[in-house]
Amino acid sequence: MMTFSLKIMMKEEIQTKGFVYRIIMRVVSGRFRGTRLEAVNGDKTRPTTDKVKEAMFSMLMPYLDGGDVLDLYAGTGGLSIEAVSRGMTHATLVDRQFQAIKVIQENIEKTHHADEFTILKSPAQQALLNFVVNSKKFDLIFLDPPYAKETIAADMSFMAENGLLNSGAIILAESNDEANLPNESDDFSIIQQKHYGITVVTIYQYEG
């Protein structure tokens, strides 16, 4: 497992006639506002559009008051960087793709605050096990797996059962409208849920 020690408002990845163009993103608000960051070539990541990202952070604003962030399917690292820029203390970004890790490393250098970020090159489930062993706890979690992978419910259950969430932790899940998302339970309440085309953004709060 590779460890490093980053964040973003981004434009959509543009695909034309079979070619995928590497586009430029920027941090939208906070300490890193205006910092230009790069996206990942190819179709291994699914960048969050500007419209959806703005809506996400509008919903999250009351909770961005310090604490540790976990971005379990980090891609470019855009969500975590924006969160730290807006007030969170530290972010851990996980991705299994080498190209994504390379781009995140490049973006970290552009923030000039590498000590506020940790990057793990690892499958998400392996990373969660590592956090259990090291008694890690998080306050804000981004779950944005590839649409083909319906892992959100399993990830949330694992984190609750293994003590990875601080009391009142917030989980933001991004999925498509066909995903099997968890309902409210003894462990989680749904604070907000909004639909943007086929994209569904759900914010949960941990009740443990």
Give the count of domains, the chain.
Answer: 1
Percent of the chain with pLDDT over 90: 62
CATH code at 166? 3.40.50.150
Owning domain of residue 176 = 2-206
C-alpha span between 182 and 157 (Å, rounded): 9
Half-sphere exposure of 205 (CA within 13 A, CB side): 11
Least confident of 5-14, 142-151, 163-172, 178-187: 5-14
Q: How many residues does the chain have?
A: 208
C-alpha span between 38 and 28 (Å, rounded): 14
In this predicted model, what pLDDT tens digit does every residue of 74-122 receive, in sequence order? 998 989 999 999 999 999 999 999 999 999 999 989 999 999 999 999 9
| pLDDT above 50 (res 6) | no
In this predicted model, what pLDDT tens digit does every residue of 14-37 receive, in sequence order? 444 444 445 567 888 999 998 988
181: nearest Cα among 208, 154, 148: 154
- Give the single-character DSSP code of 48: P
84: nearest Cα among 116, 112, 62, 53: 116
